[in-house]
Amino acid sequence: MQLRNQTLLTFVGAAIALFILPLLVQPFGPGWVRIIDAALLYVLLALGLNIVVGYAGLLDLGYVAFYAVGAYLFALLASPHLTNQFPALKEYFPNGLHTSLWIAVPLGAFVAGVLGVLLGAPTLKLRGDYLAIVTLGFGEIIREIVTNLNKPINLTNGAQGLSDIDSARLFGSDLNKTKEIFGIEIPGVTQYYYMFLVLVLISVFICYRLERSRIGRAWMAIREDEVAAKAMGINTRNMKLLAFGMGATFGGVSGVMFATFQRFVSPESFALNESVMIVAMVVLGGMGHIPGVIIGALLLAALPETLRYVAGPLQEMSGGRLDASILRQLLISLAMIGIMLSRPRGLWPAPEHGRKGAPKGGQA
């Protein structure tokens, strides 16, 4: 009973802290709240990739492709680009396409999920490094497609990207406009924070249920020993495809949220280093463990901005001979190396079940 009360108090305390966090950070400037918003988007991406890498043990280095698909899908459906390129559409949409989030989010999840299954189908027999190379190539293919799909028909506007994307509207309220509640001004970045937080909590619940379901146990069996899993009657092909598809849906939803938050998308936002960073979040936090993945995502999302204030003084100490951006990347790399040396299984690894201590008295 006492343990249950302590757990309940912990959850209540965490809920209150998450609710007031942007209100406490808001006086320091909207930039800090914006950093928290971006960190929540990375948490959403890391939770999706954790299904593929952490649960099923499939190394996916092209995960950012699904992120790009969701972002460009919403950008096309919620910007004047298509109506400007195809005047015939103005007869049906004189004010331009302004697709609601209630339609765009399920559509982005569906399209990304289908692409995830299409990616997984030809890679079923690949493992380890070979799987990583194929998925890496898939991510680069998607980025090259959106970069060059501006001729002969301009669909993505090439490297210039798509702008004038609609901001999020929920229940008729524009989240990009400052609102006043009980005398407290709530800017747009804070409203986006609460929307992203709700999505993260829903994603955590889904991942938690998946982890404890028969599907989750099948994924973990494949991760530990695929041959043994197949011998036990698990359909490894379908389980792998399901992992790719389920993980991709998270990327699609994250992409839609990114597009409506930034109101601008371009191929530069979906480069290879983004995929590597998301994989690092999962590995650094603890593969297959939801709290660890969340901590890893928050840490790596906030660390670059925090180290910005360290790299600046170091540049001044060197007389300007060292580039602050390079110093920042160096400090991030050193921090990651130090963490992995001290915590090789991640900051918060999954608990090991089924391992008992050595028998007492030397008896077997």
Q: What is the pLDDT of residues 48-90, one digit of tens each?
A: 999 999 999 998 999 999 999 999 999 999 998 888 888 888 8
**For position 3, what pLDDT does the model report?**
58
Angle between helix axes 272-285 and 128-148 (nearest 10 degrees) is 140
Read off φ and ψ for residue 140, nearest 5 degrees.
Answer: -70, -35
Burial readout 309-347 (b: 16 or more C-beta within 10 A, e: otherwise):
eebeeebeeeeeeeebeebbeebbeebbeebeeeeeebb
Quickly tell me which residue has 């006086």 as its tokens: 27
**Other beta carbons less than 10 A from residue 269's beta carbon:** 18
Count structural domains, the chain: 1
Cβ contact 48:254 at 8 Å: yes
If DSSP codes are grouped into helix, strand and coil, which group holds residue 150? coil
Give the range of the structural domain holding residue 135, as residue numbers without chain letter. 30-269
What are the pLDDT digits (tens) for 213-240? Answer: 999 999 999 999 999 999 999 999 999 9
| pLDDT band (50, 70, 90) for residue 7 | low
Radius of gyration of the chain (CA): 22
% of the chain exceeding 70 in pLDDT? 92
301 within some domain:
no
Cβ contact 211:351 at 8 Å: no
**For position 290, what pLDDT does the model report?**
93
Q: Poorest-confidence range of 45-49, 138-142, 254-258, 306-310?
A: 306-310
Q: What is the DSSP letter of 179?
A: E
12 within some domain:
no
303 within some domain:
no
11 within some domain:
no
354 within some domain:
no
Average pLDDT score over residue span 129-140: 91
Average pLDDT score over residue span 145-161: 90
136 within some domain:
yes
111 within some domain:
yes
Of the candidates 164, 158, 123, 165, which has an alpha carbon nearest to the alpha carbon of residue 143? 158
Give the pTM: 0.90
pLDDT over threshold 60, residue 361: no
7 within some domain:
no
